[in-house]
Structures are given as structure tokens and as C-alpha cells.
Amino acid sequence: MGKIICHRHGEQSFHEICEHLYSCFVNGIKSPVHSIGILNLRLCANCYETHTFKEINNLSIEKIHNASDSRQIEETLTNKYNLINKKVVCAECYSDFNKKTSG
């Protein structure tokens, strides 16, 4: 995982989120989040549905490596990943945001 420089937290790990979650984050609006573990990516419900991320949501690195069509799965992952307009957020800021807005 890479690092970004946050103006509040300094050097931090980050999350990638779709542009819609990003605008919710910026505006302090809580919305449903779908985490795609294998891509370290978070999506709004709409992106998740539209690009059928459901089909890859239970994949793990091990599963892909053991699959006979692992190459094709990786391509599918990459294609889906590239369909999303992604924004990067500081992991600390994002978890603050989730704490503040939960409940």
C-alpha cells in the first residue's frame, strides 16, 4: 500500500474511494459503502451495482492464484477497477469521518 501526505496527519496510508463517496466525504454526508477488499477500494451503492462488483467481492488473492482462469480474473478486476473514477483519501481522515458520522 502506498502513502500520501495529509495536511492534518502527515504521511499516511490511504484508501481509494469512488468519486461519489468522495463528494459525500467532502460534504460530511454518510452513505452506504461497499468495500472491495481485493482492490482496497470503496464504492457507493450505485458504482457497486452498475459495474457488478458483487461477482468479485468474495475473491481473495489465494482464490485467484488457485483458479485455472486466474489471468482472466485479474483482467476482470483490472477492467472494473479502471471503470471507477477514483479519489484518494487519507486513511486517518476517512476513519475520523466514519466515526463522526456513524450512529
- Amino acid residing at 23: S
Closest CA to 33 of 43, 25, 24, 41: 43
Could you write out the DSSP letters of every residue in 6-68? ETTTEEEEEEEEEHHHHHHHHHT-----EEEGGGTEEE-HHHHHHTTGGGGTT--HHHHHHST
In angstroms, what is the minimal distance from the CB of 9 to Zn ion? 3
In angstroms, what is the minimal distance from the CB of 65 to Zn ion? 29
Q: Which is nearer to Zn ion, 67 or 83 (CB)?
A: 83
Cβ atoms of residues 58 and 37 within 8 Å: no
Q: Which is nearer to Zn ion, 14 or 64 (CB)?
A: 14
In angstroms, what is the minimal distance from the CB of 34 to Zn ion? 9
Q: Which is nearer to Zn ion, 41 or 64 (CB)?
A: 41
Site residues, Zn ion (CB under 5 A): 6, 8-9, 18, 20, 44, 47, 90, 92-93
In angstroms, what is the minimal distance from the CB of 49 to Zn ion? 10
Q: Which is nearer to Zn ion, 48 or 64 (CB)?
A: 48
